[in-house]
Chain A
Amino acid sequence: MTEQGPRARVVRCEGLRKRYGDRVAVDGVGFAIAEGETYGLLGPNGAGKTTTISMLCGLLHPDEGTIEVGGSPMTTGRCEAKAHLGLVPQDIALYPDLTAKENLSFFGKLQGLDRGELRTRVAEVLELVGLADRAGDRIEGFSGGMKRRCNIAAALLHRPSLLVLDEPTVGVDPQSRAAILDGIDDLRREGMAVLYTTHYMEEAERLCDRIGIIDEGRLVAEGTQPELVAAVGQHPIVRLAAEGDLTTFAGLAADAPQVVRAAASDGRVEVSVLDPTRALAPLIESAEAEGLRISGVEVVQPDLESVFLHLTGKALRD
């Protein structure tokens, strides 16, 4: 993933602060996203995700802080920075009474595409989201998934260097969701930077290279998934299902290298390890040496859900 070496920063924001009356909605948020990188912004409802995104996209003027997209400062006015940006709002921000093609043409014109370019890009983007055969149909006749796909398509027309997706898969059937996630993967491979907010942990885990966890307006943690997990002291677990004297084995295993702790319960032993790839073989070896009959081995990576819970004391989907 880092084999091309350091990549250009597409977006950089620092010290973002936004206050509504007495309430501080965003308090000193800052992050950067490189090209080809997908950055996930996770947080419970009301954490400040949408406010952050609104400032980043120039919809909202920050009280403090700086934002730079594509090397240009972002303001709420008409600015160069916005040309680098494609926003996929959380709502289906399309005109239901216009056709898919009419919608895309309109937003393409606002992005300054000229006539010829517009025609080819609309066709390409519709093809990309699998709606080429429905180009002439009104949005209001689309299924939820088709609307979502078209909602994304409208942000891609001008080949933005940063794609901002605000909960793009809410209310989408599994098939469409898979197609959307695959599509985002493809875009990232082409070098697009992606800022992604979601409630769905598995989407963040699957898509995001780096994740920022935001709570009560503050960025409480940031990093790759393993980094986050490590930072909050969560470790992978090797789970052995076995018969024999499990308690004794657990005591032995707890002292082994790489092992943080071990406990026996109900026909299995759970061993927290630093690095499962290095801990697994010695563990199995010693278990066999202790005469345990192993019927199953499972390595469980601690997930973002548990990280999130640990950091914020809240479940993500409240």
Chain B
Amino acid sequence: MAGPHTPVSVVIAGKDLRRSLKSRSLVLTAVVGPLALGLIMALAFGGSAGPSATIAVVDRDGTATSRAIVDALREELRGGPVRVRADVPDPEEAVDAERVDAAVVIPPGWTESLSASPEPLRAVRNPDRAIPGEIATSIAGQVTSQADLVRAATSTAAALGADPSGVTQVRPVVTVSVRDLSQAFNAPLYFGPLSIFLFLAMGTGARGLVREQKEGTLDRIRSTPTSARTIVAGSSLGVMAQGLVASLLVYAVSTLLFGAEWGRPVDVVVILVSFVAAISGFAAIIVALARTEPQAEGWNNALAFLFGILGGAFFGGASLPGLLGAVGSLTPNSIAMRALVETGPGGQALVEVWPLVLALWAMGAAGVVLGGAMLRRRLL
């Protein structure tokens, strides 16, 4: 692995990385954890395939108008994620028994009622099928809107002296199409948990020197012709390497296996590296300020979760309102999330978000340099 003249700091970093990979806790905590959480969230919110559902459409009206509506719906939704079934006699029973996810019912006398006070359409929903329930309500709403459109159009025409009888379809002038942004970009679902778990894992790495002092290996390293600066640099490099390996694995696996959308690869990698640098800085400062290793661990883990919550890790990267949001926007988690969002699909070029990237590096550099100096004075 190392050439004849590998810098000693790289040798030390390599040793730390090797140990953390061997212990498997890095991979379990910082790779499997975020991947599992991100995948669960991505699946829950539909993922790239969109929600799928089987909706029964039941025509109890039995008029030409209602039949036309059912046919039009089947035609419109054919081949999409929503399957329409028109052969369900008892929709309430079918939805309850979960043979279909939800149902739309055109009640008897519906066409007739349109001329005066329209009979409501029924959306039959099961509380355990919230999304299909929404879809059924939305389909019923579409049918109602179309009927309203016909009624508004014909009554307006009649008021102006025309005879619009027999009109069953009116093409709307303007339609509203919904664009689901999560399909083009769902990096926050993975980056949110990653930002927390990375902090936990890198904190463990940062405490390495304190542990080595206790275990005696630090004395052995120091008895070799290795300067204190090199030892601290090697340790910091090792912490960064661990963070980098974990975050790149999460990026790669979520993209390649789960179809996650993060944005342009170069931008994503630069932002992840910068975030890892920032977290290294915090982890180093914590280790330097804490008096004991358990204390450092406690501070580190508490901060990891606080940053995660304030930085929006638990709500798809969205910032919080008010003071919490203002404080949260200063966390490295929030800054990196913002950089990912800004450069996400259809977003800006990486160079345009340089202040964010610079801020992450500034946090990292300040923490590593300051923390490193303090640690060097204390341990070496």
Query: Does A317 interact with chain B (Cβ within 8 Å)?
Result: no
**Would you call B223 and A82 a contact (CB within 8 A)?**
yes
**Would you call B225 and A78 a contact (CB within 8 A)?**
yes
Q: Which of B6, B217, B220, B227 has the most CB of A within 10 A?
A: B220
Query: Does A112 interact with chain B (Cβ within 8 Å)?
Result: yes
With contacts A82-B224, A87-B223 taken as known, whether A110 is within 8 angstroms of B217 at the C-beta atoms is no
**Would you call A97 and B23 a contact (CB within 8 A)?**
yes
**Would you call A111 and B216 a contact (CB within 8 A)?**
no
Smallest distance from the beta carbon of B234 to chain A beta carbons, Å? 10
Query: Does A90 interact with chain B (Cβ within 8 Å)?
Result: yes
For the complex, count residues of B whose C-beta is within 8 A of A. 28
- Cα separation A155 to B22 with both chains bound (whole Å): 25
Query: Does B219 interact with chain A (Cβ within 8 Å)?
Result: yes
Query: Does A95 interact with chain B (Cβ within 8 Å)?
Result: yes
**Would you call B225 and A95 a contact (CB within 8 A)?**
no
**Would you call B22 and A109 a contact (CB within 8 A)?**
no
**Would you call A77 and B223 a contact (CB within 8 A)?**
no
**Would you call B11 and A114 a contact (CB within 8 A)?**
no
Query: Does A102 interact with chain B (Cβ within 8 Å)?
Result: yes
B193-238 interface (Cβ within 8 A of A):
215-217, 219-228, 230
Within 8 Å CB of B23, what residues of A?
A: 97
**Would you call A112 and B225 a contact (CB within 8 A)?**
yes
Contact with B along A128-158 (1 / 0, CB 8 A): 0000000000000000000000000011000
**Would you call B223 and A97 a contact (CB within 8 A)?**
no
Smallest distance from the beta carbon of B225 to chain A beta carbons, Å? 4
Interface residue from B3, B4, B19 paired with A97 (Cβ < 8 Å) = B19
B1-25 interface (Cβ within 8 A of A):
2-6, 8, 11-12, 15, 18-19, 22-23
Measured CB to CB, the nearest residue on chain A to B218 is A93
**Would you call A92 and B216 a contact (CB within 8 A)?**
yes
- Cα separation A61 to B261 with both chains bound (whole Å): 55
Query: Does B380 interact with chain A (Cβ within 8 Å)?
Result: yes
**Would you call A93 and B215 a contact (CB within 8 A)?**
yes
- Cα separation A111 to B23 with both chains bound (whole Å): 26
Within 8 Å CB of B228, what residues of A?
A: 76-78
- Cα separation A93 to B227 with both chains bound (whole Å): 19
With contacts A89-B216, A115-B2 taken as known, whether A57 is within 8 angstroms of B226 at the C-beta atoms is no
**Would you call B11 and A80 a contact (CB within 8 A)?**
no
**Would you call A78 and B226 a contact (CB within 8 A)?**
yes
**Would you call B221 and A114 a contact (CB within 8 A)?**
no
Query: Does A106 interact with chain B (Cβ within 8 Å)?
Result: yes
With contacts A79-B225, A115-B3 taken as known, whether A110 is within 8 angstroms of B219 at the C-beta atoms is no
With contacts A78-B230, A95-B19 taken as known, whether A87 is within 8 angstroms of B219 at the C-beta atoms is yes
- Cα separation A102 to B5 with both chains bound (whole Å): 18
**Would you call B225 and A82 a contact (CB within 8 A)?**
yes
B356-380 interface (Cβ within 8 A of A):
380
- Cα separation A58 to B230 with both chains bound (whole Å): 15
Within 8 Å CB of A87, what residues of B?
A: 219-220, 223
**Would you call B224 and A102 a contact (CB within 8 A)?**
no
With contacts A76-B380, A89-B219, A89-B220 taken as known, whether A98 is within 8 angstroms of B3 at the C-beta atoms is no
**Would you call B216 and A93 a contact (CB within 8 A)?**
yes
- Cα separation A106 to B18 with both chains bound (whole Å): 11
Query: Does A31 interact with chain B (Cβ within 8 Å)?
Result: no
With contacts A95-B15, A102-B18 taken as known, whether A78 is within 8 angstroms of B227 at the C-beta atoms is yes
Measured CB to CB, the nearest residue on chain B to A92 is B216
Could you jot down 18 A-B contacts, CB within 8 Å? A54-B219, A57-B222, A58-B222, A58-B223, A85-B223, A87-B220, A87-B223, A89-B216, A90-B216, A92-B216, A93-B217, A95-B15, A98-B19, A102-B18, A106-B11, A109-B8, A110-B8, A114-B5
Residues of B within 8 A of A (CB): 2-6, 8, 11-12, 15, 18-19, 22-23, 215-217, 219-228, 230, 380
What 10 additional pairs, Cβ within 8 angstroms, besides A59-B223, A85-B223, A97-B23?
A59-B222, A78-B227, A80-B225, A89-B220, A92-B216, A95-B217, A110-B221, A111-B224, A111-B225, A114-B5
